[in-house]
Structure 1
């Protein structure tokens, strides 16, 4: 290999173009060798516009089998994540997979098992940018008990992206593509479990506002309400919507016995108030700021087996997929569902 990290890309959509590719191309030790997009024509177009040295390919399994590739970068939608990841790991490739992890817990389980069976290979999921900048500060404040014992959590993530009733179904509204993933639910489960510990049970309610879009019957809810219990006893009220006009910014409010801690996921502003006091902005210390270094973190781990493995790995993905699965079952049954251990 002329370069130590030679990458094949499966699925070259918006986030690959805007975020991953520029960072990868900026690393001299990295080469993009091949690209397989939704069709051979789109693969050719992507290579021509962005990586003319790469070979456009039609079949993703042929890309993942190439001897001159040691990393498979999966930017495809969730319906391909499990099959592509498992195949690539068995073929001896390091795997970076775009979030959300998979369509179902069963598919995620296959990915996790493949990563365990090939533990010498780096297998990572793309982390959410939400809360990344202040993650260390939030975890520190909560660990220090600045608001005492947490007893109540409220999270809102609302937008109006699906308000237009005549718009065709987005791929995120197509269950065969997105599976059990609903709006930003899985993203925020990953974040809040890192801050507040595991969710152990859920109840869920939701609805489809526009059931038919351009002849397609939509099953993925347009909004979702989740009541959850955390292992340490706190209760959460999580609200998600794609049909909310003029919504507030995504934010979490964490209420404890000694005060309140909030995080605005759009501005990365942290606010804290002690019981009986006023809300104060808590600056994120420079040594705790976490910037987006996702691509560099992954490549470092591929180059150096002693380097930290990037997070989330497939085990952490399993943790939020268990909650996603439980919420889907609760939505279907109308009952409280325990999250699988």
Structure 2
């Protein structure tokens, strides 16, 4: 039996449910060196948190994240809260000697991300590790794409095209949830889903963005307040509030190897549900991926035959061999299981997990440069790399 390690998670909404499933299942499918014990779940409401803890498999509930961090049975703190609390929780946990995994984007501002990355570097000197949760790196087809680039099968990278297309807020009467408020989310489609395609592009190519020029737009300026009905609050006043984040972001960039890149992140692509798409063109070949067909990687080697479809479910494909027989596809939730599996292995080995908080900071700097470029109509270079 592997030694156990206690996990405390803060937040139990969408991301919390997915992370909970990963912690529950990882030991059943992977021979991890540390067996996670789901010690405590943190949330604000005592009743709701207790119900979520029971439903999701957590042994205890806490209504103060500081108490969760202090618990002797918690050695890993998993942060699944909105971005406005990431920095405070992560830094406190690292200073308390707890390993940290934090949802993306790392923070709401570059300054917060810099503070988190600095705390992680200091903690690493004490054997305490931190990882940014960019789950799409752990999709087998994306990991296979990275392998092909590392093997030199694409040659010099010349073009990157990345899109993340969703449509969940197309309805102008969709309520003003926290993801549409800058004080909680930092940015809109840019940080929520644009962060994913930035990290995925940099991960697959092994390069980073050095220059960006951007446009952003908010199509629906005002929405009903969450919980209001018929446009009225309980007091009879207007039940609408301003949307303070972007609905869509477009930007072009240059990769560190000299290649050109284009990025599009929108939550207004009617009919698209979760279409994270990326195509990379190199001197020797190309590859293409679409998360709505997540078990497939399209690969072209040379100029003679065009693209061929690879069903990424074979035992020698990244992560896939631990699950089902060939041809039996994986789903959205599996990437999170792979994520915590890699994190547990890094902690046990005493090695730096990837993506690190420095990697998260690099993405945050790109997000910051995109926002500034869109605001001022300028071409900007992200500040010094982590």
* TM-score, length basis structure 2: 0.79
CA distance in 2, matches of 1:319, 1:159: 24
Per-residue displacement from partner, 1:87-106 (whole Å, max 9, x unpaired)?
11111111121222111111
Gaps of 5+ in 1: none
In 1, the alpha carbon distance for the partners of 2:316 and 2:171 equals: 44
TM-score where L is the length of structure 1: 0.89
C-alpha separation in 1, matches of 2:368 and 2:71 = 34
| SS of aligned partner of 1:160 | coil
The CA distance in 1 between the partners of 2:35 and 2:281, in whole Å, is 47
- Where does 1:117-128 land on structure 2 (aligned, <5 Å)? 117-119=122-124, 120-128=127-135
Q: 1:294 to 1:247 in 2, by over 3 A?
A: closer
- Return the alpha-carbon distance in structure 2 between the equivalents of residues 7 and 301 of structure 1: 15
- C-alpha separation in 2, matches of 1:131 and 1:4: 23
After TM superposition, the structure 1 = structure 2 runs for residues 111-190 of structure 1, keeping only pairs within 5 Å, are 111-119=116-124, 120-129=127-136, 132-180=139-187, 182=190, 183-190=192-199
Structure 1 residues 264 and 273, CA, compared in 2 at 3 Å: closer, same or farther? farther
1:329 correspondence with 2:358: no
Bigger drift between 218-227 and 66-75 goes to 66-75
Query: Would you say how many aligned residue pairs link Structure 1 and Structure 2?
Result: 335
Counterpart of 1:199 in structure 2 is: 209
Of 275, 289, 302 in structure 2, the residue corresponding to residue 263 of structure 1 is 289
Give, in angstroms, the shift of residue 210 of structure 1: 0.4
Instruction: Give, in angstroms, the shift of residue 312 of structure 1.
Output: 1.2
Task: Give the conservation status (yes or no) of the 8 Å contact 1:168–1:213.
Answer: yes
Q: Distance in 2 between matches of 1:130 and 1:299?
A: 16
- Residues 264 and 270 in structure 1, CA contact (< 8 A), matched pair in contact too: no
Aligned-partner Cα distance in 1 for 2:159–2:174: 37
Aligned to 2:248: 223
Q: Specify the alignment match of 1:254 in structure 2.
A: 280
Cα offset for 1:327?
Answer: 0.8
Answer yes or no: is the 8 Å Cα contact 1:130–1:265 preserved in 2. Answer: no
User: Any conservation in 1 of the 2:40–2:58 contact (CA below 8 Å)?
Assistant: no
- Structure 2: 5+ residue runs without aligned partners? 28-33, 225-239, 321-334
- Give 1:115 deviation, angstroms: 1.0
* Separation in 1, partners of 2:58, 2:86: 26
Partner of 1:299: 344
Check the 8 A contact 2:145/2:297 in 1, yes or no. no
Picking from 84, 88, 96, the partner of 1:83 is 88
